[in-house]
Amino acid sequence: MCHERKCNSVVTTSDFTKLAEEVLARCRKLATLSEDVGGTRRTFLSAPMRDCHREVSSWMKSLGMSVSVDAVGNLRAFFAGASPSAPRILIGSHLDTVPNAGAFDGILGVVLAVGLVESLHGLKLPFGIEVVGFSEEEGVRFGVPFIGSRALVGRVDDELLGRKDADGISVRKAIQDFGLNPNEISKAALRGDVLGYIEFHIEQGPVLENLGRPLGVVEAIVGQNRLEFTFSGQANHAGTTPMNLRRDALAAAVQWIVAVENLARRTADLVATVGFVEANPGATNVIAGEARATLDIRHASDRARTEALDELIRQAETIVAQRGVTVKWRTLLSQNAVAMDPFLTEQIEQAIQKAGCEPHRMASGAGHDAMILAEKIPAAMMFLRTPGGISHDPAESVHLDDVAKALECGHHLLAQLAASQEFLGRTCRA
């Protein structure tokens, strides 16, 4: 199959397969750039993030893109449009990872965007393409996700800059240590020439695989809250303190963690996770005086999510009251569900069909940079089937043929948008 383009050059299905091989090899290579030996962990502005920038920049520069790093560490590369006054579209995802990560969450979207520019063979479109590798989406280092994309919508404030990591280093200091200037973050914000944002991402779930479909299109991204709960009791001797006289903070936290799971199990479509627990002082023969636990809670309905969160806070208060313990919590993230742009979503659906696949419209249970950018510009997402539905784990993978299809679909999408007066005539709110 051939895909004719105005400039006489032709992209064939085997070209997309070759490009897909390159994309997969690049993702695997980036997975070796890690803070940990024997696993992938690349958090916000860590040393391996600099290596990652160097590697991805070299691919971008070889395509004639002008590359820069903005003041929150987002890697940004521009492939100019047909005229100097042409507007631009953004295509990207994130370059940071969770601990013990797979090779594709986020990374694939950035590397695939570079592959799409490569597939143009220098062809200039009526819009420029800015490929963005966001510096932070996972929230691992500072407990707060989306630091990279928040800068583009003007939402990096003093509270965020002052937040500290486990070593007491603030976001501001981390930025300075990376050689960037936190006073220049406002320059990272979107300007008025952006027509929209498109993100390619692995689904990270089993839906497309179960349907036997390689590609999906995201209609909405579910809302989520992330909180940290601190249970405070009394540390004491494990051997001498009778069971009825204890104020065990960890036992209170554990009782609540089970309550979290129970509520999520009996509430349709609610997911709630306690993914981090810490007991202090943390010794076998000491009753925990303090326990910290995080909560991640998500639902497509903002109301259902908020009601469930209120209920879990009530249950925490009831549990601690029965145990002579106290509880405090702080909110790390409160993000409502976000709809994707209907026009771009439909365009992606058409592009998937042109690539010979049956699209599937779905909601994303995972958070994505697209949900932040959607505050200011039309944003849309395409999902690639995730084998076994496994993500946030080294077993995460993606099929070569699906990546080739995604590249082909992206190529059709660019052609559709380039030919759309409705799209090119859009004014944006950025």
Nearest to 27 by CA among 143, 132, 106: 106
**Burial of 320 per CB tally in 10 Å (0-12, 13-18, 19+):** buried
Q: Is 289 a residue that touches Mn ion (CB under 5 A)?
A: no
Total residues interacting with Mn ion, rule: CB under 5 A: 2
Nearest residue to the partner ligand GLV, using Cβ: 367
Shortest distance, CB of residue 288 to ligand GLV, whole angstroms? 27
The residue among 264 and 366 lying less far from ligand GLV, judged by its C-beta, is 366
Q: Quick one: which H or E segment has residue 381? A: strand 379-384
> Pairing mode, if any, of strands 128-134 and 88-94?
parallel
> Pairing mode, if any, of strands 75-79 and 194-202?
unpaired
Window of 45-53, 100-108, 290-298, 305-313 that interacts with Mn ion by CB under 5 A:
100-108
The amino acid occupying position 288 is: A
Q: Is 106 a residue that touches Mn ion (CB under 5 A)?
A: yes
The residue ranges that bind ligand GLV (CB under 6 A) are: 138, 366-367
Shortest distance, CB of residue 89 to ligand GLV, whole angstroms? 23
Q: Is 396 a residue that touches Mn ion (CB under 5 A)?
A: no
Window of 83-91, 103-111, 142-150, 317-325 that interacts with Mn ion by CB under 5 A:
103-111
Shortest distance, CB of residue 138 to ligand GLV, whole angstroms? 6
Nearest to 429 by CA among 129, 145, 152, 137: 152
Q: Is 199 a residue that touches Mn ion (CB under 5 A)?
A: no
Which of Mn ion, ligand GLV, none does residue 248 bind (CB under 5 to 8 Å by kind)? Answer: none
The amino acid occupying position 59 is: W
Shortest distance, CB of residue 110 to ligand GLV, whole angstroms? 15
Site string for Mn ion, 142-181 (x = CB under 5 A): ----------------------------------------
Window of 70-78, 98-106, 273-281, 377-385 that interacts with Mn ion by CB under 5 A:
98-106
Asked if 253 and 373 count as a contact pair (C-beta separation under 8 A), the reply is no
Residue among 15, 70, 96, 105 that touches Mn ion (CB under 5 A): 105
Q: Which residues in 59-124 belong to E strands, given as ranges?
A: 66-69, 75-79, 88-94
Question: In angstroms, rounded to a whole number, what is the distance separating the alpha carbons of residues 203 and 105?
Answer: 9
- Residue 272's contacts (CB-CB under 8 Å, 6 or more residues apart) are 260, 261, 263, 264, 295, 296, 297, 298, 308, 312
Residue with tokens 């949900």: 371
Question: Rule CB under 5 A: which residues touch Mn ion?
Answer: 105-106
